[in-house]
Amino acid sequence: MPFPPEATLADVGEFALVAELTALFEQGDHVLVGPGDDAAVLRVKQGHVVVSTDLLVEGQHFRNDWAEAVDVGHRAAAQNLSDINAMGGRAHSLTIGLGAPADLPARWALSFAAGFAAECAKVGASVVGGDLTRCDQVVVAVTVLGACKLTPVRRGGARPGDVLALAGRQGWSAGGLAVLTRGFRSPRALVEAYRRPEPPYDAGPAAAEAGATAMIDVSDGLLADAGHLAEASGVALDVLSDSLEIPEPLQAVAQATGADPVRYVLGGGEDHSLLATFPDADRVPDGWTVIGAVSEGEGVTVDGAAYDGDAGWTHF
């Protein structure tokens, strides 16, 4: 730790903090100009450039009594890297805007950056710039850039007759949130899943190569995001509940709370799994599980019927 443990952002000052933060972020070969100038300069290879932006707000997207700063860093990076993954691409560059109170411990910012850098390293992405400002609460704004070797897979390409498939863990984060909301810290596997999601970073490009017709990052909830895909494609989706994996820790939480574990999987978000459609089951690559079907019509059903539970998160 380069600063005294009790030092705040006001004690350290903007430029000293920026110097320490940028030292944490390694730069890839594609970065011609990284942090320190008015803008970054990147070497763009052939293919499609894909860009996404996300916000994290203290009290809304994370709580400091539920997650350490390093965990928040992992989460902030993961949710942005996953957006590129959902297009069938790979992220390569990110910028971070950090708004924070002057009395925030400087060690919080450095731990956040360390977690962010560690998550980016999983896909070989570089943090190439950012900004700092004073704010009443911690606000993180991230922009991510990536590349698709093939045509980006959008939400609007699903067709009747396609199969619906899922990649990655689903419902784990929702289970962890349920545990934390009740003041507990176990099962630990679910709490850790809430603190640090594990997006299936290889699944997006694999789906694109396999001919996925549509794809979406599951951030708000499986059924909620399935609804976005169905609407964009002008089709109906049916999810088969018996095809969904219900891990043992989720079963334990459901039993303790009297809940149906399937509801965590169907309505839970923030695992950043991927949902995609493929022309047929034979085209579904390893790491993906067929969980339903696409037909003519509109909307999303579960086992052929309307779902009466929570379909996922809405911001307003």
Domain boundaries, given as residue ranges, for the chain = 9-148, 155-302
Is 271 part of any known ligand binding site?
no
Is 169 part of any known ligand binding site?
no
Is 220 part of any known ligand binding site?
yes
Q: Give me the CATH code for the 155-302 domain, please.
A: 3.90.650.10
Is 295 part of any known ligand binding site?
no
Is 83 part of any known ligand binding site?
yes
Is 155 part of any known ligand binding site?
yes
Is 53 part of any known ligand binding site?
yes
Homologous superfamily of 9-148 in CATH? PurM-like, N-terminal domain (3.30.1330.10)
- DSSP structural state of residue 173: H
Q: Could you state, in chain order, the average pLDDT of each consecutive group of 10 residues for the chain (316 residues)? A: 84 86 87 76 82 93 93 97 96 97 96 98 96 96 94 96 98 94 92 96 98 97 96 98 96 90 94 98 97 98 92 58
Res 38: pLDDT: 67
Is 131 part of any known ligand binding site?
yes
For 104-120, the DSSP string reads SBHHHHHHHHHHHHHHH
CB 282 within 8 A of CB 214: no
Is 52 part of any known ligand binding site?
yes
Is 93 part of any known ligand binding site?
no
Res 316: pLDDT: 41
Res 256: pLDDT: 87
Res 314: pLDDT: 53
Is there a common fold for 9-148 and 155-302? Answer: no
Crossing angle for the helix pair 172-181 and 188-195, to the nearest 10 degrees: 110
Is 151 part of any known ligand binding site?
no
Is 298 part of any known ligand binding site?
no
CB 225 within 8 A of CB 313: no
Is 71 part of any known ligand binding site?
no
SS3 content of the chain, % helix, strand, coil (to 5): 35, 25, 40
Half-sphere CA count of 193, side-chain side, radius 13 A: 27
Res 60: pLDDT: 86
Is 130 part of any known ligand binding site?
yes
- Say what the pTM is: 0.89
